[in-house]
Structure 1
Amino acid sequence: MFGIVLLAVAAGQAQAKVDAVQAARLGADLTPLGAERAGNAAGTIPEWTGGVTPPAHYQPGMHHPDPYAGDQPLFRITAEDVERNRNLLAVGLVDLLERNPDYYVRVFPTRRSASAPQRIYDATRENAEKAELIENGNGISGAVAGIPFPIPQNGMEVIWNHILHYKGDQTRFINNQAVVINGRANLIKRDRYIYYIYNREGMTPEAMDNTLLYYRYHVTAPAKLSGTSLVVQDPLDQVLTTRRAWRYSPNDRRVRRLPSLAYDSIQPDTSGLATADVVDSYNGAPDRYDWTLVGKREMLVPYNSYAVHQQGIPYDQIVLPKTVNPELLRYELHRVWEVEAKLRTGFSHPYHTRRFYVDEDSWQIVAVDLYDAKDELVGLQESHPINYYDVPMFQATLETLYHLKTGNYFVDGLDNNEPMYDFDYPMSPQDFTPQALRRAGN
């Protein structure tokens, strides 16, 4: 149906900043964030023309209406005809289709909706000639606000682009996560706050002080967990300074420092289905993996997932016993960077090998194939993104992690029956300390 393109790229970690000639391509034949501006030869991927235009009736505070609601699916992929599209799908998605005969993938016309504020474009242009990997790739220097490596030379640069792509300055949001075991879903509602440092307007490398972001949540349902809270202080270089996290338990009214909330440590309240580093598809230090940039290819990936984002959809119509409801999902053909991460000797993790598929337009990871130490496929992560066009920013409205062998899965981001995200909620770093956590619990 669609052609596939795979470009071999050297995997070395030595290169970093590019010269002025290469950097001048940003905003010319490349988009301001480094994607190919032109469409593909087949005409199935269009030219990038600046991102999405919000619907005329949209007002901030609304669940973002679907600007492409009039699009009709081009075709559907099921287990019966998955073979003809195998080379365009994540391996884990093929496995999910084959294990679930009732599941399907709806493929829509490609809409290159990703965009960011002009100041992020300007910062990306500056970063291109200044940013470098340091400490064996565990940190960066010479970059702030924008994408650090818009013309990447290796896999570690691509993963840093994902970690640091623009997600707003500060956000308060209420949503739910679902743990689905043996077909039964258990939901947890959380009131969440994120205060970003790297991307803030006016930020400088010196002022960051090795701080990436602050994060806090309070559980509000179910009743047995209500009042449980967490604070995270996330450094940029997590080998130089480890991530710090504290958890408040209403049962004993105490704040305790967590020994670890990184790498393969299990996220609280996920019944063992989600490690700490799967949040936002991948987060944290890259030091335990060797990263290889395989190249760029065309793939059918989750994109413009406005249908599953809409207000008022009951959660049990989204979270089905075996999968998320496929009728609410949208897939499109996009160019993605493919990056392979292999666990280094001496470290342990359920995911010995990961294959990341990173959207070229936004640097958001949209899918991940997960393999165990025996090189057997065990999981599939997907990010279902939208452009929050009032910011603007492009990131997941829903994240899924399928454990393919057990049939259990994890969902995060269910917000259809909650207030829409507040991107201007007043907060400061002082709200993300163990003392603040203790005060909130009293």
Structure 2
Amino acid sequence: MKTKTMMRASALALSLLATSVMAAVSPEEAAQLGTTLTPLGALKEGNANGTIPAWTGGLKPNAAPVTNGFIGNPFANEKPLLVITAANAEQHKDKLTPGQLAMFKRYPNSYKIPVYTTHRTSSWSQKIYDIVKKNAVSTQLINEGNGVANFGDAHYFAFPIPKSGVEVYFNHATRYRGGSFTRATAQAVPQPDGSYIIVQIDEEMGYPEKMQGVDPAAAANVLYYYKNTITGPARLAGTVSLIHETIDQIKDPRQAWVYNAGQRRVRRAPQLAYDGPGSASDGMRTSDNADMFNGAPDRYDWKLVGKKEIYIPYNNYKLQSPDVKYADILKPGHINQDLARYELHRVWHVEATLKPSQRHIYAKRDMYFDEDSWTLVEADHYDGRGQLWRVAEGYVFSDYVNGITGYAMQSIADLVAGRYVAFGMMNETGKGPNYDVSYKLADFTPSALRNAGVR
């Protein structure tokens, strides 16, 4: 009797373990990658009426001239096919997000969406495609969908054929970003009257598989190491934040530290996660608003709504051009939409709803991910009363030289306060991102923060 009871208990334990690990796709499904699907899992074919073309490989490395790391615009001579304004937004609402429609209502005299010809420009190297196809048949969700296992040695695009909303998010979180890099960026929070102060930030990101002094076994759950240093204005200069970003943040929570130049001390910074305030953002974004959404997904229930065609910011070469000044971009209420470019693309629509047992200032997030690059491009944020509160847009472009899709900048508009934050701008920094860098693990330790923050 005792033996039978133990056997039943063991069987139950194995059953529970099996349900906590969600299976990877089959080899037959993975065979679609590069055939009917693009190597990253998007539909290769265009849409029925031809307004979205077929993907044919994306842009080539010589698509346009590059100046000081700033990627040239291969579509500089194109004009908008149409311009959506408050006057005609209703006619196009089936291809707009609730957030975009809300922006037309909040700013009827200035907000617009210039729509251009659709170009499926995203492209990566064959090496990345091979890694993605290999990972597709091994990578699994664990910890009730909050972690990833069997991800391989290079952690890129975890679920190219997603079965759930959280898998779509993990594709965004683990997308290839060009490897280790350094860049200078700017952030601003324009007031309702349009006035603003530029915050200058130096950013560094290192990937464990490309760094010296990293033990592969110890870093098996590390996605990347990240450090940002505020260099201006003077009252903020010298503050440094450091993050060790993990893949499964239930198993190993994100580690974060801050060096305060005024106190000359390094402190643990658990607030650099979830709805902790974003650095130097005047309360206009949370820590997990960076990169449109980042970090552990465990506070939300994730629903995969499906695919749809909408107008999203795409091929925004003009917004990252060194010929454009911050004063040209930053206007009252929202950025200068004349500088933005939108195209019709297929997106994955995902709803993240706050779990009853959790807390966050955003009770719901509606997210729209570009199918070709898995980049999050639109995100609507709702408060605890169910009211649409903040509208975020990521103005993507294809960096065809380094084989990535990145953001020219990001913005989050507060519909209630009439303000917004714009961040990730590089126009006046004098140079684009540098991917030809070599980091050591010692560059991303708490002891390294003090040296980074000396002013």
Structure 1 and Structure 2 fold alike (TM over 0.5) = yes
Matched, 1:46 2:53: yes
Q: Is the 8 A contact 1:292 1:339 kept in 2?
A: yes
Deviation at 1:234, TM superposition (A): 1.2
Paired amino acid for 1:246: W
Query: Which deviations, in whole Å up to 9, do the C-alpha atoms of 1:366-389 show, x marking residues without a partner?
Result: 101111111111111110011112
Question: Quick one: distance in 2 between partners of 1:328 and 1:229?
Answer: 32
| Identity level (%) | 39
Structure-2 change in CA distance of 1:153 and 1:354 (3 Å): same
Q: How do residues 139-178 of structure 1 correspond to structure 2 at under 5 angstroms?
A: 139-144=147-152, 145=154, 146-178=156-188
Who is 2:280 aligned against?
A: 269
Alignment of 1:25-424 (within 5 A): 25-55=32-62, 58-59=65-66, 61-100=68-107, 101-144=109-152, 145=154, 146-183=156-193, 184-197=195-208, 206=217, 208-418=219-429, 419-424=431-436
Q: Letter of the aligned partner of 2:114 in structure 1?
A: R
Q: In structure 2, the residue corresponding to 1:339 is in which secondary structure?
A: strand
- Out of 428, 434, 440, the residue aligned to residue 446 of structure 2 is 434
Other structure's SS at 2:198 match: strand
Which amino acid counterpart does residue 149 of structure 1 have in structure 2? F
Deviation (angstroms), 1:182 = 2.8
State the SS of the aligned residue for 1:190: strand
Q: Is the 8 A contact 2:277 2:287 kept in 1?
A: yes
**Letter in structure 1 aligned against 2:427:** N
Q: What is the deviation of 1:200?
A: 8.4
Unmatched runs of 5 consecutive residues or more in structure 1: 1-11
User: Would the aligned equivalents of 2:64 and 2:73 in 1 still touch at CA under 8 Å?
Assistant: no
In the alignment, residue 150 of structure 1 is paired with which amino acid? P
SS of equivalent to 1:185: coil
Contact kept? 2:69, 2:434, Cα under 8 Å: no
Q: Is the 8 A contact 1:311 1:416 kept in 2?
A: yes
Q: 2-side partners of 1:148 and 1:241: how far apart?
A: 18
Larger mean CA deviation between 96-105 and 169-178 belongs to 96-105
On the 8 A contact 1:369/1:381 being kept in 2, the answer is yes
Amino acid at match of 1:314: K
Larger Rg: 2
Confirm or deny: 8 A CA contact 2:64 2:74 kept in the other structure.
no
Local SS of the residue matching 1:80:
coil
Task: Output the CA distance in 1 between the equivalents of 2:21 and 2:446.
Answer: 39
- Give the drift of 1:58: 2.1
Relative to structure 2, which stretch is displaced further, 235-244 or 58-67? Answer: 58-67
Q: Are the structure 2 counterparts of residues 32 and 433 from structure 1 closer, same or farther at C-alpha, using a change threshold of 3 Å? A: same
CA contact (8 A) 2:304 2:351 kept: yes
Q: What secondary structure does 2:103 align onto?
A: helix
8 Å contact kept, 2:181–2:436:
yes
Structure 1 residue 292 displacement after superposition: 0.4
Task: Report the Cα distance in structure 1 between the residues aligned to 2:20 and 2:38, rounded to whole angstroms.
Answer: 24
SS at match of 2:55: coil
Contact 1:379 1:401 in 2 (8 A): yes
Task: Find the residue that maps to 1:238 and give its secondary structure.
Answer: coil
Q: Answer yes or no: is the 8 Å Cα contact 1:182–1:321 preserved in 2.
A: yes
Tell me the amino acid that sits aligned with residue 434 of structure 1.
P
**Helix, strand or coil for the counterpart of 1:294?**
strand
* 2:364–2:383 CA contact under 8 A, matched in 1: yes
C-alpha displacement of 1:393: 0.4
**Distance in 1, Cα, partners of 2:83 & 2:446:** 50
CA 296–423 in structure 1, closer or farther in 2 if over 3 Å, else same: same
Aligned-pair Cα RMSD in Å:
2.0
**How far, CA to CA, are the matches of 1:388 and 1:57 in structure 2?**
11
Native 8 Å contact 1:191 1:217 kept in 2: yes
Q: What is the rounded CA distance, in whole Å, between the counterparts of 1:136 and 1:60 in structure 2?
A: 46
Note if contact 2:238-2:452 (Cα within 8 Å) is conserved in structure 1: no
